[in-house]
Amino acid sequence: MALPSVQHRAAAPAERLDRSRQAAPQVFARLRDRITALELPPGAPLSRAGLATEYGLSSTPIRDALMRLAEEGLVEVFPQHATLVSRIDVRQAELAHFLRQALELEIVRMLALRADAALSSDLDALIARQRRFAKDGNLEAFMAADNEFHARLYAAADKQDLWSLVRSRSGHIDRLRRLHLPSPGRTQAIMKHHRLIAQAISDGKPEEAEAQLRTHLSGTLGELATIRSRHPHYLKE
């Protein structure tokens, strides 16, 4: 199956860069979001000239942003030829899952061993936001709220730097999650797991929190065969 071609869209006024900040990190973050959301799917070409025009920049910050994406394995750069969004690397997705699970099992245990009413309130609010986004069919906002839920756990444990580490390794697993998200019942399952994790933390039950988190994080890789059968041209081993 031929890989899809994606045309660069013109940046809307609201998407213009903040000129008071360095350009390359902003371009990196925006391209990364578009790649993990599959707006730029595996195999999509990335034209440096097109991106420079889109963001109103010279080639240097575009080059720097693409180099960072290459370091995360999200693009492949072929000198003097092309830059393409990479296929989803299943091995890297599995490693990212292992890292995240190891960290978050310890984090939810830690949080369940100490009462924090503010955390419980915040987690409930994030789940409510997810419910609204799911009802509206806004999967990108739903995924963002999903990430916010987990980021709040790291913040509550004073481990924000580890969340940054996890996010820097999550590009491939995030794309698998995005492919899996439209599956029937998937958003409901995620919200159910979040409620159970939050309840176990609130109730001071560390073993239950760990068990619910393990179930939650295993959802996408547990459906890898189905995802591969539906999108074989997006994945590589």
What distances in angstroms separate CA 36 from CA 29, 53, 58, 67, one per listed residue?
11, 22, 25, 17
Q: Confirm if 46 and 12 have CB atoms less than 8 A apart.
A: no
Alpha helices per DSSP H over the chain: 23-36, 48-55, 59-71, 90-112, 117-136, 139-156, 160-168, 171-180, 186-202, 206-217, 224-230
Query: In this structure, what DSSP letter does residue 151 have?
Result: H
pLDDT tens track for 1-16: 333 333 334 444 336 7
- Most confident by average pLDDT, 2-11, 15-24, 140-149: 140-149
What is the per-residue pLDDT for 115? 81
User: What distance lies between CA 229 and its chain's CA centroid?
Assistant: 22
Give the residue extent of every domain in the chain.
13-86, 89-236
For residues 213 and 207, give the distance between their C-alpha atoms in angstroms, rounded to a whole number.
10
- Report residue 211: phi and psi, to 5°: -60, -45
- Over residues 123-152, mean pLDDT: 97
- Class level of CATH domain 13-86: mainly alpha
Instruction: Give me the architecture of the 89-236 domain, per CATH.
Output: Up-down Bundle (1.20)
